[in-house]
Amino acid sequence: MAEQTRNDARTDGSTAHFVDEGLTLCTRYGLHPALLFMEQVGVPRNVALRVLCSPDHYRQRDRRRAPRLAPSHAA
């Protein structure tokens, strides 16, 4: 399995969407409802638990919506 870093872009868009929804549910209603939701929509349990139990691993900025800036070439 390839090692992931905090800067890796998400490759599975539907799972990423469900994870984001689960994090929103966790903030509003708590861990258990968020975990139940994620399991019901098919997020692998190990992924759901890792994300919900490790706030340090939350993605702070979603690169899918914010393209990288081209390097500026100042002369």
pLDDT tens for residues 9-41? 556 788 989 999 999 999 899 999 999 999 999
pLDDT of residue 4 exceeding 70, the answer is: no
Mean pLDDT of 30-58: 89
| pTM assigned to the model | 0.61
Residue 51, domain extent: 19-57
Does residue 64 belong to any structural domain of this protein? Answer: no
Does residue 5 belong to any structural domain of this protein? Answer: no
Does residue 40 belong to any structural domain of this protein? Answer: yes
Look up residue 56 and give its two tokens: 């340090």
Does residue 43 belong to any structural domain of this protein? Answer: yes
- Give the whole-number percent of the chain exceeding pLDDT 90: 41
pLDDT of residue 72 exceeding 80, the answer is: no
- The answer to whether 35 and 49 have CB atoms below 8 angstroms apart is yes
Does residue 62 belong to any structural domain of this protein? Answer: no
Tally of structural domains, the chain = 1
CA distance linking residue 28 with residue 1, whole number of Å: 33
Does residue 66 belong to any structural domain of this protein? Answer: no
pLDDT at position 2, please?
47
